[in-house]
Structure 1
């Protein structure tokens, strides 16, 4: 802690802190927190803020993943104001857990422009491929129920999805 207090420049620390900041970061298990929340105390003493995250809220689970598990947000990034001002675009992402009780976290200090959903567009170039016609025929030929309007919408959606998958 003396190191953080003595450092005047921007700093950041991320990883497993083994504490939640409040009850909303915990599901299952014992309710209530110990009388001393060391993470809150540390953050207050060194002037740190939690930088937030994207992805699933809980990054640690005891037991099976699902409704019966004990889940916590134990991994996080804390930083001083100088670091947050230096890295305005920085993001912390919680990824999916694979073979561990913790999910991986990724800190990106310079994320590229966010992914924007591209609407489906049918390209005339697709017609040059002989398989395109059979994909359209197959999808359009599926039986659907409902009014004529509903059937048309369902056929269009099925064709769009089939073309996306084929493409």
Structure 2
């Protein structure tokens, strides 16, 4: 649903003029919720209407919007809305693109998938990658390479397997209806068990992508997790960015260069060193007691490393290697020694140098 709704939803949707009518805004929001509408967002100027006055009397509002229900969002996950330049009208035209070509040909980075844990062969893959006395960087690299190969050759595409099982199940049930026999009954049961397993894996897949806690929302909420992922995905994409002069950069290469330049300016300095003007003892602050100092300076144990790892949420924010805390927690008996060696050994060396 697209159009001029002649109503704002919040104070940020308006610049100057009379205060928004909160009752009308709440009614508008209630109507959208009752229809299960989701705002498609936008790129371009924030406001879509102007009274075209001088700056002292200027009023700007966002009253042109694009809404869709979750089913439409699933059908067109890449749909995007752009506010085009306003010319002779007092409204900005809205451009809806149902899909955009993916010009980024970079390979997707590796990421650990929780649905792999449900495959009976996956523990053996971990065991083979993390053989005894293998250093952690080497073990991680070995595991990711093996996991990529295993994903394509063994696990396969989850959705293709689902379609294949459904097609086989349909064929088996048709044959069973025409000529019932023991083999077809057993085949139907086998395919139903396989389909049930795929559904569990699919639920884990969408739960991980939606960044929501599956335990909180119950079992078999695959459609809910799927919708959450589809709605969140466009918000995580940078389609355009505004530079320091207030101009929008829509070209992908231009966006990359602007972000890179921003980080280079942020982390670049002309100073080679910063002199210390006073000793640390002159600072007014609290100090650790001798007991606390002894506890902090003690040798770190494997149990300390394990307890620290278990304080992290298992499947949130994977590292640059694509592994999250949960991937180490699930197979701690196999990976624990290599993880502890990376954490404990440098601390022991530093402690020996300071004593």
TM bucket, shorter chain: 0.5 to 0.7
- CA distance in structure 2 between the aligned counterparts of 1:65 and 1:21, rounded to whole angstroms: 25
User: In structure 2, which of residues 59, 62, 68 is the aligned counterpart of residue 70 of structure 1?
Assistant: 59
Query: Which consecutive unaligned segments of at least 5 residues does structure 2 have?
Result: 104-250, 257-355
Determine if contact 1:16/1:74 at 8 Å carries over to the other structure. yes
Cα offset for 1:63?
A: 3.1
Higher helix proportion (structure 1 or 2): 2
Cα offset for 1:32?
A: 3.0
Cα offset for 1:44?
A: 1.2
Q: Give the stretch that moved more between structures: 22-31 or 58-67.
A: 58-67
Q: 1:66 to 1:85 in 2, by over 3 A?
A: farther
Cα offset for 1:15?
A: 1.2
- CA distance in structure 2 between the aligned counterparts of 1:107 and 1:66, rounded to whole angstroms: 30
- CA distance in structure 1 between the aligned counterparts of 2:101 and 2:54, rounded to whole angstroms: 31
Q: Does 1:22 align with 2:158?
A: no
Aligned to 1:49: 38
TM-score under structure 2 length normalisation: 0.28
Aligned to 1:162: none
TM-score under structure 1 length normalisation: 0.58
SS of 2:29 mapped into structure 1: helix
SS of 1:35 mapped into structure 2: helix
Aligned to 1:116: 252
Q: 1:65 to 1:25 in 2, by over 3 A?
A: farther
User: In structure 1, which of residues 20, 35, 42 is the aligned counterpart of residue 23 of structure 2?
Assistant: 35
Determine if contact 1:18/1:75 at 8 Å carries over to the other structure. yes
Q: Over aligned residues, Cα RMSD in angstroms?
A: 2.3
Cα offset for 1:19?
A: 0.9
Cα offset for 1:116?
A: 2.2
Cα offset for 1:65?
A: 6.9
- CA distance in structure 2 between the aligned counterparts of 1:67 and 1:58, rounded to whole angstroms: 17
Aligned to 2:71: 82
Structure 1, residues 83-140: CA drift from partner, whole Å, max 9, x if none? 1111110000001110111011100001223642269xxxxxxxxxxxxxxxxxxxxx
Query: Which consecutive unaligned segments of at least 5 residues does structure 1 have?
Result: 1-12, 120-167
Aligned to 1:153: none
- CA distance in structure 1 between the aligned counterparts of 2:54 and 2:100, rounded to whole angstroms: 29
Cα offset for 1:68?
A: 4.2
Higher strand proportion (structure 1 or 2): 1
Q: 1:43 to 1:116 in 2, by over 3 A?
A: same
Aligned to 1:94: 83
- CA distance in structure 2 between the aligned counterparts of 1:66 and 1:106, rounded to whole angstroms: 27
User: In structure 2, which of residues 41, 50, 53 is the aligned counterpart of residue 61 of structure 1?
Assistant: 50
Aligned to 1:146: none
Pairing 1:3-22 to 2, within 5 Å after superposition: 13-22=1-10
Greater C-alpha radius of gyration = 2
SS of 2:102 mapped into structure 1: coil
Taking CA–CA contacts closer than 8 Å with sequence separation of 6 or more, which of the two structures ends up with the larger relative contact order?
A: 1
- CA distance in structure 2 between the aligned counterparts of 1:85 and 1:67, rounded to whole angstroms: 44
